[in-house]
């Protein structure tokens, strides 16, 4: 004749069964992992270095004097930006938000920038969401590719890439209008 389970073993097995989730329970993670969406964004960034109302301010420069460069930018310079983004190239076109972050001149000849910007949408269907773009910006190339490394709101867990082109550049002031086209996967 088999020995019956001691009372504490029965209690232990009962607790173990009650603590095991059933196969029909819903996941506790609020976002389905396999729900990637794709977005294709196009907008213009207005980078204004000149006064008044500059949206890009130089906050650091080479303490030993700036090296001459063909681009007019000098190695070691860092600019903090709060640039408006719009639907079209005209600064008075429909506003979409702001590009906030910084760029630094990361090559001795002034041809490469290190670009790190959060594109913050303040209007329209993306209002309250942002996209993070971080990477090398070889400004002398006609089209540059930069990685999209994250986002918030609608663009949570964003990843992808963006093409950037210089739409307009004023050699006298250093002001620029940049066209950005981004392809993004997100949740």
Alpha-carbon gap, residue 114 to 127, rounded angstroms: 27
131, 151 Cβ separation under 8 angstroms: yes
HSE-CB for 184 with a 13 A CA cutoff: 25
| CA 121, chain centre distance (Å) | 11
The model's pTM: 0.79
Q: Which helix (H) or strand (E) holds 11?
A: helix 7-19
121, 96 Cβ separation under 8 angstroms: yes
Alpha-carbon gap, residue 158 to 36, rounded angstroms: 9
Domains, in order of start, for the chain = 35-186 (2.40.480.10)
- pLDDT in tens for each of the 187 residues of the chain? 555 656 555 454 444 444 545 444 444 445 555 567 999 999 999 999 998 999 999 999 877 766 667 788 888 999 999 999 999 999 999 999 999 999 999 998 989 999 999 999 999 999 999 999 999 999 999 999 999 999 999 999 999 999 999 999 998 999 999 999 999 999 8
């Amino acid at each position: 004749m088999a020995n019956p389970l001691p009372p504490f073993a029965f209690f232990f097995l009962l607790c173990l069964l009650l603590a095991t989730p059933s196969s029909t329970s819903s996941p506790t993670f609020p976002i389905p992992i396999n729900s990637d969406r794709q977005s294709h964004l196009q907008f213009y960034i207005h980078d204004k270095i000149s006064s008044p109302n500059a949206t890009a301010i130089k906050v650091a420069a080479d303490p030993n004097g700036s090296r001459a460069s063909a681009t007019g930018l000098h190695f070691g310079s860092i600019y903090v930006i709060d640039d408006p983004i719009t639907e079209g190239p005209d600064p008075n076109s429909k506003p979409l938000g702001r590009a906030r972050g910084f760029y630094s001149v990361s090559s001795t000849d002034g041809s490469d920038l290190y670009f790190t910007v959060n594109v913050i949408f303040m209007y329209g269907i993306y209002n309250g969401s942002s996209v993070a773009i971080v990477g090398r910006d070889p400004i002398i190339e006609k089209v540059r590719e930069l990685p999209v490394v994250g986002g918030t709101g609608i663009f949570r867990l964003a990843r992808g890439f963006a093409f950037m082109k210089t739409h307009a550049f004023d050699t006298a002031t250093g002001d620029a209008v940049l066209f950005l086209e981004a392809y993004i996967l997100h949740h």
